Amino acid sequence: MIYLDHNATTPVDSRVLEAMLPYLKNFYGNASGLYKLGRLSRTTVDTARQQVAGLVGVSADQVIFTSGGTEANNLALTSLDPAAGLAVSAIEHPSILEPAERLHRQGHPLTILGVDPDGLVRQNSLDEVIRSRKPALVSIMLANNETGVIQDVARHAERLRAQNIVLHTDAVQAAGKIPVDFKALGVQLLSLSSHKLYGPKGAGALIFEKGVKLSPLLLGGGQEQNYRSGTENVAAIVGFGKAAELAKAELAQRSEQLAGLKTRLETGLRSIPGLHIFSQNAPRLPNTVQFGLPNVDGEMLLMKLDRQGIAVSSGSACASGGKEPSYVLTAMGVDPVLARSAIRISLGISNTPEQITRFIEILQTLVNQEG
């Protein structure tokens, strides 16, 4: 199989699995236990906390472990002042859009920030929000899961901070692919997910600036500084920590390797007549390419590629299976017919140049059959 859907999820790195196994087999202690087995789990969780903190340049007590990116995003939105409004970009992951809409139904003013044809948040829509509505919380993702577009979060953060507006960024797709430094970004809240950076599924984190008020989604035993109750998923947290440590240590090498593969991929794609690469003028992740082919049904093409042993996505994993064109491309003003043909390729560190060449050959054959 040629797996080209790493933005949906990544395989667990063998070194990560190795680190996790003892906590699934032998060291099963509850991290709250006061005896040796419990203390061992506690120490291990603390080590993982430092590893995750290290990935984004914060101190360990700024890390709240969650069940993944979805929970981290939901938790971030609880920082909203009960009387205030919020603004989120139109291309956020559903784990931001859905809770934002719920808050809106509960009476909070909600502004959706528009994006330009390349998928970058429009400066004037942010200006307008600051001027007229003055929301207490803004959420703008660092990198988009479909197009790979990287937003100028540091610039937005500087402007919003000057107005005392909290900025949350969803860095789930960015972490491990580009440098992500919490302080340099200047945000107050940042979400991460383990399974997008070769860690296990079911672990993530919300990074917070001290002083930002959060309201826990889960109440109970008071774990995670009372922000997230529930017995810690020690093995998954260990895996997340190890994956974060490796992502930091290998970042330069990984992004260079991915960029090389992406160049090869895009050169091949451009040889296909009529093919359009979305957001090609915007800064993008080194691993993500989304393209459209006029008059081709993206879902059909995806299934034909699957029959050839190639795994790709027609957009975000959650959007797949639906007949509607991607809301991300729609927000960018892409023609619905072209948007319905969209295919997203997201490369990973075990992909090879030969796999890319093979993918292009197969794609060319399938497209010629359509024509």
User: Rule CB under 6 A: is residue 69 a binding residue for ligand PLP?
Assistant: yes
Q: Please give the Cα distance from 18 to 26 (Å, whole number).
A: 13
Q: Which of 317, 360, 362, 367 binds ligand PLP (CB under 6 A)?
A: 317
- Segment contacting ligand PLP by CB under 6 A, of 48-56, 168-176, 254-262, 362-370: 168-176
**Minimum CB distance to ligand PLP, residue 100 (Å):** 13
User: Rule CB under 6 A: is residue 141 a binding residue for ligand PLP?
Assistant: yes
Catalytic residue among 318, 322, 370, 371: 318
Residue nearest to ligand PLP (CB): 69
Q: Which of 62, 147, 151, 193 binds ligand PLP (CB under 6 A)?
A: 193
CA angle 55, 178, 78 (to 5 degrees): 60
Q: Decide if 217 contacts 75 (C-beta within 8 A).
A: yes
Q: Which of 95, 314 has the CB closer to ligand PLP?
A: 95
Amino acid at 237: I
User: Rule CB under 6 A: is residue 93 a binding residue for ligand PLP?
Assistant: yes
Of residues 212 through 271, those in contact with ligand PLP by CB under 6 A are none
Q: Please give the Cα distance from 307 to 326 (Å, whole number).
A: 23
Q: Please give the Cα distance from 11 to 109 (Å, whole number).
A: 40
Concatenated DSSP letters for 173-197? TTBTTB---HHHHT-SEEEEEGGGT
Q: Which of 203, 275 has the CB closer to ligand PLP?
A: 203
Packed helices 153-162 and 123-132: angle between N→C axes, nearest 10 degrees: 20
Q: Which of 136, 328 has the CB closer to ligand PLP?
A: 328
Beta bridge partners of 178: 175
Would you call 70 a catalytic residue per the annotation?
Answer: no
Q: Decide if 118 contacts 328 (C-beta within 8 A).
A: no
Q: Which of 71, 299 has the CB closer to ligand PLP?
A: 71
Q: Taking the CB of residue 272, how many other CB atoms lie within 10 A of it?
A: 15
Using CB under 6 A as the binding criterion, the count of chain residues that bind ligand PLP stands at 15
Q: Which of 67, 255 has the CB closer to ligand PLP?
A: 67
What ranges make up the beta strands (E) of 73-228?
86-89, 110-113, 137-139, 166-170, 189-193, 204-208
Q: Please give the Cα distance from 123 to 72 (Å, whole number).
A: 26
Q: Decide if 144 contacts 173 (C-beta within 8 A).
A: yes
User: Rule CB under 6 A: is residue 99 a binding residue for ligand PLP?
Assistant: no
**Minimum CB distance to ligand PLP, residue 145 (Å):** 3
User: Rule CB under 6 A: is residue 287 a binding residue for ligand PLP?
Assistant: no
**Minimum CB distance to ligand PLP, residue 8 (Å):** 7
Tokens 């139904």 label which residue?
A: 105
User: Rule CB under 6 A: is residue 204 a binding residue for ligand PLP?
Assistant: yes
Q: Which of 68, 186 has the CB closer to ligand PLP?
A: 68
Q: Which of 13, 170, 245, 299 binds ligand PLP (CB under 6 A)?
A: 170
Binding site residues, ligand PLP, CB under 6 A: 68-70, 73, 93, 95, 141, 145, 170, 172-173, 193, 195, 204, 317
Residues involved in catalysis: 318
